Amino acid sequence: MKTFSVVEGIVVQTKHLQEWQKKLKPEVYEALQRYAVSKNDVAKDGYGVLRGTDLSNFIENYRS
């Protein structure tokens, strides 16, 4: 069974962040980026890297 490594998770996260950067105001994107990478250093595998719906949920709940 193939594993989903932290590096692979960060690659996906980066791709998702690039897509959000095109759609969000700079201050919202900066907050999203800070949130997204906040747990990368403690992730045990790619599933511990914030991406996809984690990022969408942050945006849905964002309050300036």
Burial of 13: CB neighbours in 10 Å, binned 0-12, 13-18, 19+: buried
pLDDT digits (tens, 9 = 90+) for 11-36: 999 999 999 999 999 999 999 999 99
- Cα separation, 50 vs 42, in Å, equals 11
Portion of the chain with pLDDT greater than 70, in percent: 98
pTM: 0.92
**Residue 1 pLDDT level (bands cut at 50, 70, 90):** confident
Residue 2 has pLDDT above 90, yes or no: no
- Report domain extents, the chain: 26-59
